[in-house]
Amino acid sequence: MLKLSRRGFLASAGAAGLVAGSGLAMPFYSRANARPVFTHGVQSGDVDTNSGVIWTRTDRPSSVRFEVATTESFADARQLASLDAVPANDLAVKRLLTDLASDQDIFYRMTAVDLADTNAVSEPIVGRFRTAPREKRNVRFAWSGDTAGQGWGIDEVGMLAYGTMAKHTPDFFIHSGDTIYADGVMKDEVDLKDGTKWVNKVLVDEKRKVAETLDEFRGNWKYNLLDTHVREMNAVCPTFFQWDDHEVVNNWSSSKDLSNDDRYTEKSIHVLRSRSARAFHEMMPIRFTPAEPGRVYRKIAYGPLLDVFFLDLRSYRGPNGPSMETELSPEARILGAEQMAWLKDALSKSTATWKVIACDMPIGLIVWDNWKEQAGAEAVANGDNGAPKGRELEFAELLSFIKTAGITNTVWFTADVHYTAAHYYNPDKAQFQDFEPFWEFVSGPIHAGTFGPNDLDMTFGPELKFIKAPTEEQGANLPPSMGLQFFGLVDIDGSTEQMTVRLMDRGDNELYKVTLDPAKNA
């Protein structure tokens, strides 16, 4: 667990660039300031035993100086080469810190020097994270998804679930996708059913329309960083990011047709995807993969007890359709052949006790591409409750491989459906039975409209162990103020190696808890 008090660290660091007391961050910074300003706080991500990515952004072209230390006082600081924050990257900079000690608090400090006036130097901004251990110790992580969706932005209390989650001092947070809602237009006010109003206290032009240009996509990610709860958590907790559909447009695949959507002047889904992908990697502390720049799927080794495998079910899928193919083809895939080969190889080589598979969409929940007509597969399940077809074929192949290869202790974590649930996949209840039982946990939204519940497809025999979703009387698209915002907490005990999963809500209520015993390899 993180040993340093979050509040103590923020106080000692001065929380530079943050606006204290209001619960909100300032949405605008004047270029007329005499000195550069860090506009959106700091972020860290993809932390392992000896490295991690850090990120920040300035208000003008600047040379950003970096210092790294293992003490809060920076008495042992190591200075790194400066990086330039320039307009080509929207004044954002990120770098991979290497050669770090394992299981160590790492403090990083950035200072910006105005490129046009080297006498103009910013106040420093500070963040910290803890590297993964090489020995067995307790590990805690959180996960959720779906931020700033359905028009629910930064109100008077802000994105409160982030603050609730941060109180548990996780080693890291998995954001399971829908990190923005590029297609989610916001208004200043929304009338609620009880006669009150939801007021988006902070709103920027990029959120008043659908994102089409590169700058509009960038603006969506920057908007989330205007929330103080988000920024305070980012200063002390790494986030491991995935993406899904709303980073581009709802339910996008190569077959997405925007010709009749009057909100868009740019009709090419491929152009929108390209712009979004660039902004995602500029604004997120995600590692760069030389073999495939822009790759989202990856593995993060977090010590001897945990490997995390991040999947991308969006980038390599065939077109959305009925998903009823009886043979696996490029059109039927959702992982894609290359990602599937990588995942099999990475799982086979893993020596960690727990293999966490962070998947941006659930396996057995039916998500319709055309929700109104209950038609077309948007996720894995096709809704026929029969033998694997379409995208289910890939998952049948994967689950069978995991069994045959003797890979133990796989647990799936996901979001996407805007409620929280626990599923136990039981081959005895399944149409396809060539797999070992496993758990899938669903949590979200972290700050978006609440929906659900969805129906389960019985191809892989999911048993519903717990669910918390809106009632029929409550309806759909409930605002965050109603409290049905969810995240999950996972604790791995360093001694027993047991995994305890808790499903939580925004009010910090524990909704469900289960402890899993690890299977021991022969």
Q: What is the mean pLDDT of the chain?
A: 94
Domain spans, the chain? 33-131, 139-516
- The class that CATH gives domain 33-131 is mainly beta
Give the CATH number of domain 139-516; options: 3.40.50.620, 3.60.21.70, 3.40.50.720, 3.10.20.740: 3.60.21.70
- Whether residue 10 is predicted with pLDDT greater than 90 in this model: the reply is no
Helix axes 6-13, 228-236, angle to 10 degrees: 100
Note the pLDDT of residue 366.
98
Report pLDDT digits (tens) over 459-506.
Answer: 999 999 999 999 999 999 999 999 999 999 999 999 999 999 999 999
CA distance 86 to 93: 8
**Average pLDDT of span 259-288:** 98
In this structure, of 23-27, 65-69, 124-128, the range with the lowest mean pLDDT score is 23-27
Note the pLDDT of residue 32.
53
The residue written with tokens 């902070």 in the block is 202
Report pLDDT digits (tens) over 146-166.
Answer: 999 999 999 999 999 999 999
SS3 track for 227-239: EHHHHHHHHHCCE
DSSP string, 435-486: S--EEEEE---SBS-B--PPPBPGGG-EEEEEEE---TTT-SSB-GGGS--E
Per DSSP bridges, beta strands 78-85 and 125-130 are: unpaired
- Whether residue 5 is predicted with pLDDT greater than 70 in this model: the reply is no
pTM greater than the 0.75 cutoff: yes
Cβ neighbours for 261, distance < 8 A, ≥ 6 positions apart: none
The tokens describing 108, both together, are 């990083």
Strand, coil or helix: 501: strand
CA distance 133 to 37: 34
The tokens describing 62, both together, are 């600047």
CA distance 66 to 71: 15
The tokens describing 396, both together, are 């049948």
Note the pLDDT of residue 520.
81
Strand, coil or helix: 404: helix
**Distances, alpha carbon 421 to alpha carbons 354, 360, 371, 474, 492, in Å:** 20, 15, 20, 18, 20
The residue written with tokens 């030389």 in the block is 290
Strand, coil or helix: 150: coil
Note the pLDDT of residue 247.
98
CA distance 97 to 441: 32
CA distance 504 to 432: 32
Residues 16, 125: contact at Cβ < 8 Å?
yes
User: 421 pairs with which residues across the strands?
Assistant: 442, 467
Report pLDDT digits (tens) over 424-467.
Answer: 999 999 999 999 999 999 999 999 999 989 999 999 999 999 99
What values do phi and psi take at 106, rounded to 5?
-115, 125
Residues 294, 281: contact at Cβ < 8 Å?
yes
User: 106 pairs with which residues across the strands?
Assistant: 129
- Whether residue 19 is predicted with pLDDT greater than 80 in this model: the reply is no
Angle (CA) 510-516-517 rounded to 5° is 150
**Average pLDDT of span 311-334:** 97
| DSSP class of 100 | P
Q: How confident is the model at residue 26 (pLDDT cuts 50, 70, 90)?
A: very low
Handedness of CA 215, 218, 224, 225 (dihedral sign): negative
By the 10 Å C-beta count (0-12 exposed, 13-18 middle, 19+ buried), 403 is classed as middle
User: 365 pairs with which residues across the strands?
Assistant: 456
